[in-house]
Amino acid sequence: MRVFLQKTGLVGLLALGSLACAPLQASLHMREAKEAMQQASEQQAATRSPYAWTMAGLYLEKAKEKNGYSHYEQAMEYAKKAKQWALTALNQAMSASEESP
């Protein structure tokens, strides 16, 4: 009986640990997306790359919404897309600034 309780306790602890991981990962990805958007903002991406900038903002808002409803996996996916769009906006903004005199 004691061995059974030890094994089920370990399984329960591992399951609890994996549940706690999703919110942390979602928060990490949202923070990375915010940082990428901040960098893009510093390069004036809102005016130099409006489409990518808007997409990044919309995906980040959706990630926040999903996170608020405890849909962490979906929040993580939206945050990853937000970061990708923010980096695209950053690259396009930097290219536009190099091209303009």
Tokens of 92: 């396009």
Closest CA to 32 of 86, 69, 94: 86
How large is the angle between the packed helices 72-99 and 50-68, nearest 10 degrees? 160
Q: Is the dihedral of CA 86, 87, 89, 94 positive or negative?
A: positive
User: Distance (Å, rounded) from C-alpha 56 to C-alpha 54?
Assistant: 5
Cβ contact 52:89 at 8 Å: yes
Is the per-residue pLDDT at 98 higher than 90?
A: no
User: Mind listing the pLDDT tens digit for each residue in 27-86?
Assistant: 999 999 999 999 999 999 999 999 999 999 999 999 999 999 999 999 999 999 999 999
Q: Which amino acid is at 41?
A: S
The structural domains of the chain, with segments of one domain joined by +, span 23-99
Q: What is the pLDDT of residue 18?
A: 53
